[in-house]
Amino acid sequence: MKQTTFYTVFFLLFATSCKVGKYLPAGEKLYRGSTVKVQKKKDVKASEKSLRKQLQLAARPKPNKFILGQPYKVWWWYVIGEPKRPKGFKAFLRDKLGEPPILSSRVNTKITAENMNAYLDNIGYFHSTVTGDTSNNGYFTKAVYSANIFPQHTIRNISWVNDSTALVMELDIKRKRKSLLKSGMAYRLSDIEAERERLDIKLKTKGYYFFNPDYIMAYADSTIGNYQVDLFFNIKTTTPEFARHAYSINRITVFPNYTLLKPAPDTSTKGTINIDGLLIRDTVRSFKPELFKRTITYRPENLYSSIDQNTTLNRLINLGAFKFSKNRYEAVKDTVNPYRLNVFYYLTPAKKKSLQAQIDAFTKENRYIGSKLSLNWKNRNVFHQSEQLAFKVYGGFEISSNDSLKQNNNYRFGTEVTLNFPRYLIPFFKVKENNLYPSRTQFLLGYEFFIKKSFYTKNIFRFNYEFQWRENANKQHILAPISFTYLNAANVTDSFYAAAAVNPALLSNVYNETIIGSYYTYTYNTLNPMAKSQLYFTANLEAAGNTIGLISGAKEPRSKYIFGTPFAQFVKGDIDLRYTKRYHNKLQWANRFQIGIGFPYNNSAFLPFSKQYVVGGASSIRAFAVRSLGPGSYLPTAKDQVYFQTIGGDYKLLVNSEIRMPLFGRFSGTVFADIGNVWTKDTVLFGKAGQLKKDFLKELAVATGVGIRIDISLLLLRFDLGIPFRKPYLPNGQRWVIDKIDLGNSKWRSDNLVFNIAIGYPF
């Protein structure tokens, strides 16, 4: 049957090809492609296959598409015919199904052979030759190229033809430092061009503003024998005089109220203020001159540097106070001292104040659904140095669809104030910095009133004093020397106390607590978002109550107080490593590894609930809902899910891996595997089952599943179906449940399959 189908398709295609011949213009044939024959000399190291493949890339034109040797798209192009309208249905069919024929008149083997010769010269195969001809078969024509390849030349010596000028001496110094060209490497024109670009970039940091790489001449002496070349560099004689000199900065003028609207604004220097060598023309006094003194990283009399130029422009853009930022350099017209530049910065302010309202609807992995409304007000220049003051007021509710949680709704109301300074703000210290990105100091003050219906209310106060800075574009640091949280529980109901009488661990939910500490976060991510390998790494370190504990002499949990409440005492560190590999056809392999270690001690028996690690849910272990897994081999009960604020632990291990594959249109699919769990340091909350043990690896949950993603441009909708393979809360020896999978059983599906809906990738 398969053989019959094959011959049927073959004869159909052959028949269509016969019909194509009658459509061709008189004297024309259909181009069938090219063949490259390679004959190499004895010392040529490259394989014939490699050389043939490289030369084939230079063959022109590209032939039509063929199936089983027949031009099926050309046939469609002729059969559909010339459309009457360029955008009609017939034109659409012709463009999608067919393609115009590549005719023999377009084939010029002589020119293509010359291009192949030039390509061989460019990669060091000097003295090689390529000839071309055509061969005909019916109404097909084919190009045939014969290449006679000599050995590839290597670089022996590299030198500058020194004319003792400052420019050539500078170029010679730059060439010797981190040059892309080395003795012994194969000759390639692309390497020489890259070296010229590198030298130009280096010169731009030494004042040569008007120089460009085309002014550098390179020539190779290939007559020295032994298939070697000597490279010589020099400055072209046609290089203009102004490009041969380094320039210094003469004057820097800033226009912080520039507008793109017409009529054009007044950009004269009349009325400027000189502050530290900078001329500021702020006609409406919107910004204090100190802002530009701090942001602009160079001054008059400094040598021009592209690094200073890019750093300053980037710092201005990242202040957040300007909608548009641009600069202009202009040579000074002075015959006595001509090699100087005037610099102009044109800054268009962003809207100073804004008010936004936002409403969100959400679902959580613990089967809560809810909504949140927030009002956000921002002033982008509150103290006239690009400081950002933001007020946020919000309210929301969470209602559960789970029978055991139906009367356990949550409500929250709060406000938050943040004040952001685009600089380090440290009492009694002044830090001078000129990084590519401005550093930031942020103060945050927040209050939230939380209601857990039928059980208790909580007042939560927060204060953070935080520094943020970027080492470079892909490395960020956050340091908070002071982080303060105060939790006060009130209005505890009799029903909650009744439950606590049975399980005293529940009282930990209504303990008042103060958390005073510090934290540091380091983040690294791959700079190029289109790179084949994507790496993301973040590390966090947090400590609380250490100094207070040392002073107070805390030895037992909740034995020492501050502000009338016990203070938390712990050290906590965690890392998050993600690696994604891109393959052809948009296939991706994404991985995540997380490990977290929290060490509560002395005044704390366990981490505060807000600091605990959790697993399960749409972005963790997708075959287990949040609050249904761990810690350890403990199985949370329905009452635990009702009464505990968080079901988590002091330690965490999580590994995720998934294959992401395109399907069609905006749809893509995934196959994933998730492994992990959390554990506690003590037995206070969940007993010995939740405590970390030596054989903790035996308590890892394992899950797999499949998913669908829908990319709707603004966001990505994710639907994942998780299947448990290993349940750590089952008796030891019975935890693997792969053999229990029964997709045809409705009860098994109800008890085991977990369907997750989320926005964005899980990692």
pLDDT of residue 322 exceeding 60: yes
The residues with which 362 forms a beta bridge, in sequence order, are 370
153 CB-contact burial (10 Å; exposed 0-12 / middle 13-18 / buried 19+): buried
Where are the extended beta strands (E) located within 475-632?
475-490, 513-525, 533-544, 561-562, 565-566, 570-582, 588-600
Place of tokens 């949140």: 372
Binned at pLDDT 50, 70 and 90, residue 267 comes out as: low
Q: Are 380 and 320 in contact (CB under 8 A)?
A: yes
- Hey, which of 231-240, 385-394, 581-590 has the most confident mean pLDDT? 385-394
**Closest alpha carbon to 360 in 368, 370, 348, 345:** 370
Segments forming the whole domain that contains residue 17 = 2-149
DSSP collapsed to 3 states, 418-473? EEEECCCCECCECCCCCCCCCCEEEEEEEEEEEEECCCEEEEEEEEEEEEEEEEEC
Sheet with strand 322-331: strands edge to edge: 273-275, 278-280, 248-255, 340-349, 322-331
Asked if residue 562 has pLDDT above 50, the reply is: yes
Q: In this prediction, what percent of the chain has a pLDDT beyond 90?
A: 76
pLDDT digits (tens, 9 = 90+) for 458-488: 999 999 999 999 988 899 999 999 999 999 9
In a domain, 698, yes or no: yes
Q: Are residues 743 and 624 in the same domain?
A: yes
Interatomic CA distance for residues 601 and 548, integer angstroms: 13
Query: What is the pLDDT averaged over residues 172-182?
Result: 81
* Pairing of β 533-544 and β 388-400: unpaired
Cβ of 237: how many Cβ atoms within 10 Å?
Answer: 6
* 181 and 145 assigned to the same domain: no
Which tokens hold the place of 173?
Answer: 């110094």
Look up residue 451 and give its two tokens. Answer: 């209601």
Same domain, 721 and 692: yes
pLDDT at 16: 52
Q: Residue 406 has what pLDDT? A: 61
Helix (H, G, I), strand (E, B) or coil at 362: strand
Q: Give kind and range of the element (H or E) at residue 391.
A: strand 388-400
Q: Are residues 677 and 727 in the same domain?
A: yes
User: Where a domain ends, among 93, 121, 149?
Assistant: 149
* 379 backbone dihedrals φ, ψ, rounded to 5°: -115, 120
Which residue, 107, 115, 85, is CA-closest to 32? Answer: 107
**End-of-domain residue from the set 149, 172, 203:** 149
pLDDT of residue 434: 74
Q: Are residues 116 and 22 in the same domain?
A: yes
Is residue 627 pLDDT above 80, yes or no? yes
Please give the structure tokens belonging to residue 447: 């209050």
Residue that wins the pLDDT comparison between 259 and 696: 696
pLDDT of 633-660, one tens digit each? 999 988 888 888 889 999 999 999 999 9
Q: Is residue 462 part of a domain?
A: no
Asked if residue 762 has a cis previous peptide bond (ω within 30° of 0), the answer is: no
411-447 pLDDT per residue, tens: 999 999 999 999 999 988 777 777 889 999 999 999 9
Look at residue 237 and tell me whether its pLDDT is greater than 80. yes
Q: Helix (H, G, I), strand (E, B), or coil: what is residue 323?
A: strand
- pLDDT digit string, tens, across residues 29-42: 999 999 999 999 98
Q: How confident is the model at residue 6 (pLDDT cuts 50, 70, 90)?
A: very low
- What are the φ and ψ backbone dihedral angles of 517, each rounded to 5 degrees? -160, -160
The per-residue pLDDT for 665 is: 87
Query: Given this model, what pLDDT does residue 11 score?
Result: 47
Helix (H) / strand (E) element for 264: namely none
20 and 145 belong to one structural domain? yes
- Please name which of 104, 98, 66, 70 lies closest in space to residue 83, comparing C-alpha atoms: 98
Do 168 and 235 lie in one domain? The reply is yes
Answer whether 250's CB lies under 8 Å from 257's CB: no
CATH number, domain with residue 673: 2.40.160.50
Reported as a single tens digit per residue, the pLDDT across 498-543 is: 999 999 999 999 999 999 999 999 999 997 877 899 999 999 999 9
Q: What is the pLDDT at residue 7?
A: 46
Mean pLDDT of the chain: 91
State whether 195 and 263 are in the same domain: no
Give pTM, 2 decimals.
0.82
Kindly state whether residue 419 falls inside one of the protein's structural domains: no
Q: What are the structure tokens assigned to 63, written together?
A: 């032939």
| pLDDT above 60 (res 355) | yes
**For residues 137 and 139, what is the distance between their CA atoms, to the nearest angstrom?**
6
What does the pLDDT read at residue 57? Answer: 92
Please check whether residues 630 and 759 belong to one and the same domain: yes
Indicate left, alpha or beta for 66 from its phi (over 0: left) and psi (-120 to 50: alpha).
beta
In a domain, 95, yes or no: yes
Any residues with CB less than 8 A from the CB of 547 and at least 6 apart, and which? none
For the chain, the first-to-last Cα distance in angstroms comes to 48
Amino acid at 235: I
Distance of CA 200 to the CA centre of its chain: 29
Beta carbons of 279 and 292 less than 8 angstroms apart:
no
| Cβ-contact 311, 302 below 8 angstroms | no
Residue 661 sits in the same domain as residue 763: yes
- The total domain count for the chain is 4
Pairing verdict, β 701-711 and 667-679: antiparallel
What three-state secondary structure class fits 110? helix
| Residue predicted with more confidence, 95 or 703 | 703
Pairing state of beta strands 440-452 and 410-421? Answer: antiparallel
State both tokens at 633. Answer: 């081999």
Q: Look at residues 296, 299, 329 and name the one whose alpha carbon lies nearest to residue 312.
A: 296
| Phi, then psi, of 57 in degrees rounded to 5 | -65, -25
Looking at the fold, whether 699 and 759 belong to one and the same domain comes out as yes
Residues 122 and 188 in one domain: no
Inside any domain, residue 63: yes
CA-based R_g, the chain, Å: 36
In a domain, 459, yes or no: no
For the stretch 193-211, what's the b/e string if a residue is b when 16 or more beta carbons lie within 10 angstroms of its beta carbon?
A: eebbebbbebbbebbbbbb
Q: How many CB atoms lie within 10 A of CB 720?
A: 23
Last residue of a domain, one of 115, 149, 183: 149
